[in-house]
Amino acid sequence: MEKLFVDKFGDDSRPLIKVRAPGRVNLIGEHTDYNDGYVFPMALTRNTTILAKPRTDSTVRLASSIEPQIVEFSIDTAVKKEAPKWSAYPRGVAEALRQKKLLKIGMDALVYTDVPLGGGLSSSASFEVASGLALLTVNRAKMNLPDLALACQWAEHQYAGVPCGIMDQYISAMGVKGHAMLLDCRDLTPRQIPLDNSQVEFLIVNSNVKHELVQGEYTARRNQCQRAVELISRSFPTVKALRDVSMTMLEECRLELDPVVFRRAKHVITENQRTLEFASALEKKNWAHAGELMYASHNSLRDDYGVSCPELDALVDICAAVPGIYGARMTGGGFGGSIVAMGRHAAMADAAVAIDNQYPQRTGLQATHFVTTAGAGAHVVQGLAG
């Protein structure tokens, strides 16, 4: 990467800094975020890395190992929203930090990532957080991590046009090595839960399908959840979101709810319970029970929430038959994308072989996969001296 930096920007005696921010996988707690519920992301050991040198002026010049052109913009005045598309992320973050008056100088920067792009592992959040950390580092400026995460979310909304939640930026900024993060989406309090990296590892498998219905179905699910809240709050006026509803309350309202809306609500309510139970199972190192909860989550997403697809079901099925795999489930919005399987170190290679052998037979497709443990959150690998 240092050589590529010299290729792009030439060689000189300015100090070189290096920062890193990870991609993420959500271990459990799916479609709970917009219901004020719980999510449980883990930082990957795969990262976006940025090498940068401070400039004396207010220009940011940015190169990517996977893009031909060098992007250039000024942080003197509001950062322009301009092509190429991939520059939206660092532009948005630079603008957020500029508005907070944290930036005096620009930088020459090279970005490199080993997080798969567009695979539901949030290469975008890791790009944003790394961009923010690089800009702060060359400016010798400090920002607390929740604020950095919020600035990055703002960038994704305003510059990339993706109305995402806060989970991805939170875990990328605040992940702790050997831990996953139980995040309460109502009050945004993160709890770091230890995850013994010597005992469990994770296989992330991309189904390499993306069914077209994602956006419409996502909107439909959100509307169904809202409908459930409207109807349930007639009987229970304190209910503001499905987060506030128990299964007993839902059962009491069964007759007022359309059967489909009932099942959607049931998924959200049981998924919140599973997510909390998953956290305590991990704290007790009860991997077997945590794994059962992952399978239960997958079944609920498939049967009650209706967001799985045959390819994801096949991958979970294949993993479930491998000794030493504790649990597996689809992760992300659904209708394609990836699954995550948790198991012992020795089971990882066996699961990978099983997938390579069986997934093409069952679906006509090739899956791509890699192994990860709980990685570290964003950090400065090499800062400015002094």
Instruction: Give the catalytic positions in this structure.
Output: 168
Instruction: Identify what 111 binds: Mg ion, ligand ADP, none; CB under 5 to 8 Å per kind.
Output: ligand ADP
Residue in 4, 8, 67, 376 binding ligand ADP, rule: CB under 6 A:
67
H-state helical runs in the chain: 2-9, 88-99, 123-138, 145-158, 167-174, 214-235, 247-252, 259-283, 287-303, 310-320, 345-363
Task: Establish if 338 lies at the interface with ligand ADP (CB under 6 A).
Answer: no
Q: How far is the CB of 155 from ligand ADP (least distance, A)?
A: 12
131 binds Mg ion (CB under 5 A): no
DSSP tag of 154: H
100 binds, among Mg ion, ligand ADP, none (CB under 5 to 8 A by kind): none
Q: How far is the CB of 161 from ligand ADP (least distance, A)?
A: 11
Between vectors from CA 305 to CA 304 and to CA 309, what angle results, nearest 5°?
105
Residue 159 within binding range of ligand ADP, rule CB under 6 A: no
* Between 243 and 369, CB nearer to ligand ADP: 369
Q: Is 124 in the site for Mg ion (CB under 5 A)?
A: yes
Task: Note the Cα 49 to chain centre separation in Å.
Answer: 17
Nearest to 221 by CA among 266, 272, 188, 254: 266
Q: Which of residues 231-290 bind ligand ADP (CB under 6 A)?
A: none
Nearer Cβ to Mg ion (124/272)? 124
CB of 157 to ligand ADP, least distance (A): 12
Sign of CA dihedral 304, 308, 310, 316: negative
Phi first, then psi: give them for residue 295, nearest 5 degrees.
Answer: -60, -40
* Residue among 49 and 124 whose Cβ is closer to Mg ion: 124
H-helix segments, 159-258:
167-174, 214-235, 247-252
User: For ligand ADP, which is the closer residue by CB, 333 or 383?
Assistant: 333
CA distances in angstroms from 222 to 27, 181, 210, 286, listed in the order given: 21, 24, 20, 33
Q: What is the residue whose two structure tokens read 């929740």? A: 146
Lookup: tokens for 151: 């600035």
Which of 19, 111, 129, 281 is close enough to bind ligand ADP by CB under 6 A? 111
Stretch of 10-18, 122-130, 299-307, 358-366 contacting Mg ion, by CB under 5 A: 122-130
CB 24 to Mg ion: min, Å: 10
| Cβ-contact 299, 312 below 8 angstroms | no
Give the rounded distance of the alpha carbon of 64 from its chain centre.
21
Residue 377's closest CA among 163, 164, 122?
122
Query: Up-side HSE of residue 15: CA atoms within 13 Å toward CB?
Result: 12
Q: Sketch the per residue contact string, 124 through 143, with ligand ADP: x for CB under 6 A, - otherwise.
A: x--x----------------
Q: Does 120 bind ligand ADP (CB under 6 A)?
A: yes
Report how far residue 119's alpha carbon sits from residue 130's, in angstroms, rounded to the nearest whole number.
Answer: 18
- In the complex, the smallest distance separating the C-beta of residue 357 from ligand ADP, rounded to whole angstroms, is 27
Q: Out of 85, 140, 191, 254, which residue is the one contacting ligand ADP (CB under 6 A)?
A: 85
By CB under 6 A, tell whether 195 contacts ligand ADP: no
| 113 binds ligand ADP per the rule CB under 6 A | yes
Which residues are at the interface with Mg ion (CB under 5 A)? Answer: 122, 124
Which residues are at the interface with ligand ADP (CB under 6 A)? Answer: 48, 64, 66-67, 85-86, 89, 111, 113, 117-124, 127
